[in-house]
Structure 1
Amino acid sequence: MFKHIQRGCLANLPVAASVAVYGSILGVLAVQKQISWLQLLIMNLSVFAGSAQFVMVEMWTPPLPIVEITLAVLVINFRYLLIGASLQPLFQGKSLLHKCAMMHLVADENWAVTMAEYRRETASTYFLFGGGLCVVSAWCAGTLLGHRLGAVIANPETYALDFVFVAVFTALLMSLWRGKSDIIPWIAATGLAMLTYHTLPGKWYIVVGGVGGALTAALFQKPGQEKKTERQCFKSDTIT
């Protein structure tokens, strides 16, 4: 178990550095919204979803629009339904308690790293959890550092820090590229997201793009393209 957690943590160190940097931007924005250090830490540990937290901070205006914030976060985090579904083979045969303990720390970054590891047939739930520990530690450190430096860095875009979020997700996206079979689903997801962005208010483009891409992939999947059996892919998921 500890060996897999350690491997997951080390594998996520490169993306964790970027997570800390754009986490610092959230910290700077939190200061401008008069969110306290403790409130930010509680948000990090309870929500732990970067894009959703950015929206929360943006909407943080007294009196707090609790219902609107909750709905916005729910819409943005709908993508975790797809992420959770993609991890189903990893958790097959695991108890509900095990699933709950491992899934809370799932983020886009350690999910992407785990999926890449899955294709090398060496992934495990503990590898996923180790990556989550690495990412959440970097996220908390970055956001709290940004909170402390908020009075100094009033405009993150001056230092191009606002681009870090885009850069890290672009790198993660390319790491998931499998070849020509991804072209049509990716185009469909991009097109649907852009169309929704220009036609519907809020963050629905995230959900529509993700669901549309997933359905397109399922529709155009050729017979025999399915992944190798879970027994082969996750034979390393044992306690050592």
Structure 2
Amino acid sequence: MAPSHDPSTSADAAPDSAVSFSLEGVRTGFLTCIPVALGVAGYGVAFGVVANQAGLSVAEAALMSATVVAGASQLIAVELWADPLPVTAILVTTVAVNLRYSLMGAALERWFRHLSPTQVYGSLFLMADENWALTVRDLKTGSGRGAFLLGSGIAIWTFWVASTVVGVLAGGVIGDPARYGFDFILAAVFLALAADLWDGRSTFVPWLVALATALVASSVLPGRWYILLGGLAAAALEVIRYDA
């Protein structure tokens, strides 16, 4: 007798073996992420302007965006840019900001466990907050598109690097990017993604814990440690709730 099937749980209970890595997944990820990548481009222009003001050339700013692919840490590095370069301060601060990616990567493990190391790490290199959220949403539907993260990451990377170049070239004309609201673009993108990831009342508690922890940490700790601590607090709460 065949086991019964509960359609209400099929999305989250899709077998790992159903996850594949294909060109179709890359294409779907790229096209799905274009609207979000356009928002990221606005933030990229702002970064390019700031990089120009710090004295970076077009090639230097573009190289940073192409190899780092992390807006917050790049802005921090540029803000700390000086002669001599404070290498230790930049490294410590950017590590604190980017440690959240370890949590985000861990959240994808259930789907990525049967992909090859090249597929996994190649995709993770292009992982940003925005396309990670889109990838989680897509995989939770049971699509099995293991290449969605790579495709959406390519969209983010392309728009991020291109907009950085635009920002550097236009730096002398634009001036302070906050005058045009560029500083709010990324916040607006995150709000839209958060609304899309809302999963009912069960989502509210970890979000509230993350917010409260981040607010407290930002008031007592220097730098950007509040980003990591907020994520860790929410993750710890979820582990306790589901293991209890």
Which TM-score applies when normalising by structure 2? 0.88
- Which of residues 14, 23, 30 in structure 2 aligns to 1:9? 30
Q: 155-164 or 106-115: which moved more?
A: 155-164
Q: Deviations over 1:38-64 (max 9, x none)?
A: 111111122111111111111111111
Contact 1:25 1:156 in 2 (8 A): yes
Q: Deviations over 1:58-87 (max 9, x none)?
A: 111111101111111111000001011001
- Other-structure match for 2:128: 107
Question: What residue ranges of structure 2 are gaps of 5+ in the alignment?
Answer: 1-21
- Other-structure match for 1:166: 187
Cα distance between partner residues in 2 of 1:151 and 1:97: 41
- Other-structure match for 2:198: 177
- Other-structure match for 2:154: 133
- Other-structure match for 2:217: 196
Partner SS for 2:147: helix
- Other-structure match for 2:114: 93
Contact 1:25 1:162 in 2 (8 A): yes
Q: CA deviation at 1:24?
A: 0.2
Cα distance between partner residues in 2 of 1:142 and 1:98: 27
Question: What residue ranges of structure 1 are gaps of 5+ in the alignment?
Answer: 224-240
Question: How many pairs align?
Answer: 223
- Other-structure match for 1:210: 231
Cα distance between partner residues in 2 of 1:100 and 1:17: 25
Contact 1:184 1:217 in 2 (8 A): no
Partner SS for 2:173: coil
Cα distance between partner residues in 1 of 2:243 and 2:147: 32
Which TM-score applies when normalising by structure 1? 0.90
Q: Which amino acid in structure 2 is aligned with residue 170 of structure 1?
A: L
Structure 1's 123 and 156: CA in aligned 2 closer, same or farther, altered over 3 A?
farther
Q: CA deviation at 1:123?
A: 4.3
Cα distance between partner residues in 2 of 1:75 and 1:222: 28
Correspondences of 1:150-161 after superposition (within 5 Å) = 150-161=171-182
**Which 4+ residue blocks in structure 1 deviate beyond 6 angstroms?**
none
- Other-structure match for 1:20: 41
Cα distance between partner residues in 1 of 2:205 and 2:133: 20
Q: CA deviation at 1:129?
A: 0.3
Q: CA deviation at 1:162?
A: 1.1
- Which of residues 53, 59, 77 in structure 2 aligns to 1:38? 59
Q: CA deviation at 1:96?
A: 2.2
Matched, 1:56 2:77: yes
Cα distance between partner residues in 2 of 1:130 and 1:117: 12
Q: What percentage of residue pairs aligned between the two structures are identical? A: 36
